[in-house]
Amino acid sequence: MSGARTVAIIGAGPVGLAAAAHVLERGLEPIVLEAGGTVGHAMRRWGHVQLFSPWEYNIDKAAARLLAATGWNSPEPHQYPTGAEMVERYLEPLANIAALKPRIRTSTHVTGISRTGFDKLKTKGRETAPFEIRYQNGKGPETVKADAVIDASGTWHSPNPAGANGLPAIGETEAADRIAYGMPDVLGKDRARYAGKTVAVLGAGHSAIGTLTDLAKLAAEIPETRPVWLLRGNDPAKAFGGGANDKLAARGELGAAFAALVTAGRIKVESEFCVSHLFVDGPRLIVGAIAGCSARRAQVDELIVATGFRPDLDLVRELRIRLDPAIECPIALAPLIDPNEHSCGTVRPHGARELAQDEPGFYFAGMKSYGRAPTFLMLTGYEQVRSIAADIAGDRAAAERVELELPETGVCSRPLGPDASNCCGGPALSDVDACCVADEKAKQQGKTGCGCAS
């Protein structure tokens, strides 16, 4: 990519803004295009949620260097911010830096990316044609050109539906006013909607257990509130996480506190509940599950769907993109993050090599780069964009270098041996497709699958 000058970055979330800082440091010209009216638009939607990673893991190094030059007071590294604090204390000051501010366009919704004069079919010379990024900003379609593109547009705006088969459940659209997606603020601005109600939460990830924990707190204040946990799997304990083994203590504690609420019977649990249909019956919302699991119903007032997110791939339709068919992430990344293969959520750091596409100069980064996989950490995204910016600038050595060691989740189905104080014995050293030492050894012995799975 040497010779590239202008880099379009889609999304002004933490990873998009970090990308802009790295691109700037490389002497290149970033243009950040953000659909929302402000930076951190998606993060503001979950502003009430406390992060499970402390400040020391949430700030990109190039961004910190830019901020330090302005006299910015960096937050206490061991404290845990909320999403709103992340925006207020980090993303907004970063976006207001003189070098970045004029290069960020908000209320700019990217609708498509192509190459000037080249539709997807045409090959000869396409690698040197600039990218054309089409966007809407309320004035009709506009276009900006760039030599490289980093798509850091996240997945927040495309949540998975309730249907266990990945399609919207029958009746889901019609029952929309009784359904919320993601993490509504049940103790704050959405309190009136949920207080005193029977509220089902569908899902088994951090968002689901965080919301259920908050609903249990609401029930302690308003006893008529009844939290119901609907999960597709048959083992609720799988959602409890790594507990004390989790190197991110707050993430471990969240799971442990949730386990205690379930054990105490403060959350009703409906496992093996595969939602197939929904309908409103008088004052109640009926959530129906069928075959594959048992056929049964939950009668509730409200449903919160927290079944994860998927990438919006419409905007890259005209580019030559190869994605893993299941995870919808770059092919080389899939073996590192496939939740079917990895019992432990620890993911090796990676960069431009894994994220590059057949379309030279185009990269996915951040939450979107993980497709449907749920294990993304901001720290991973910061390492991604450091490596991508180096790649675009033509610094291959820096692009290849790994400059990050990630905290482990402590979630592993493999029993720990006497010498293994860490989950799976720590991150793998050499094999790029291995998530940990156990996996690396297994792969070196020619075994397939994840070596850390029991």
Chain residues in the site for ligand FAD (CB under 6 A): 10-16, 33-36, 41-43, 46, 49, 51-53, 109-110, 152-154, 156-157, 183, 207, 315, 366-367, 376-379, 381
Of the candidates 207, 267, 217, 265, the one whose C-alpha atom is nearest the C-alpha of residue 239 is 207
Nearest to 261 by CA among 331, 215, 229, 213: 213
**Shorter beta-carbon distance to ligand FAD: residue 200 or 367:** 367
CA–CA separation, 211 and 197 (whole Å): 14
Radius of gyration of the chain (CA): 22
Q: Minimal distance in Å, beta carbon 90 to ligand FAD? A: 11
First to last CA, the chain: 42
Nearer to ligand FAD, 107 or 271 (CB): 107
| CB neighbourhood size of 175 (10 A) | 18
Smallest distance, ligand FAD to C-beta of residue 224, A: 27
For residue 51, which of 17, 77, 19 has the smallest C-alpha distance? 77
Query: Of the candidates 17, 25, 42, 13, which has an alpha carbon nearest to the alpha carbon of residue 392?
Result: 25
* Distance in Å, CB of 378 to ligand FAD, minimum: 4
Choice between 179 and 347, CB closer to ligand FAD = 347
Q: For ligand FAD, which is the closer residue by CB, 16 or 241? A: 16
Give the residue carrying structure tokens 């610094």: 395
State which amino acid sits at residue 341: E
- Comparing CB distances to ligand FAD, the nearer of 183 and 334 is 183
Minimum CB separation of residue 17 from ligand FAD in Å reads 8
| Residue 158 vs 422, nearer CB to ligand FAD | 158
At its nearest, how many Å lie between ligand FAD and the CB of residue 294?
31
Cβ proximity to ligand FAD, 37 vs 265, nearer residue: 37
Run of H or E including 65: helix 61-68
Handedness of CA 55, 373, 351, 7 (dihedral sign): negative
Nearer to ligand FAD, 124 or 139 (CB): 139
* Smallest distance from ligand FAD to CB 380, Å: 8
Among 107, 54, 106, 125, smallest CA distance to 85 is for 54
How many C-beta atoms lie closer than 10 Å to residue 451's C-beta?
24
Tell me how far, at minimum, the Cβ of 234 lies from ligand FAD, in Å: 25
Q: How far is the CB of 33 from ligand FAD (least distance, A)?
A: 5
The residue among 181 and 226 lying less far from ligand FAD, judged by its C-beta, is 181
Q: 405 vs 76, 349, 350, 385, CA distance in Å?
A: 21, 7, 10, 15
- The CB-of-14 to ligand FAD minimum distance in angstroms stands at 5
- Maximum distance among all Cα pairs of the chain, rounded to whole angstroms: 68
d(CA 136, CA 138): 6
Minimum Å gap between C-beta 32 and ligand FAD is 9
Is 344 or 442 the residue whose CB approaches ligand FAD more closely? Answer: 344
Q: And the tokens for 294? A: 């048992």
Name the residue with the smallest CB distance to ligand FAD: 13
Angle at 158 (CA atoms; ends 153, 159), nearest 5 degrees: 130
Q: Which of 431, 430, 414 has the alpha carbon at shortest distance from 422?
A: 414
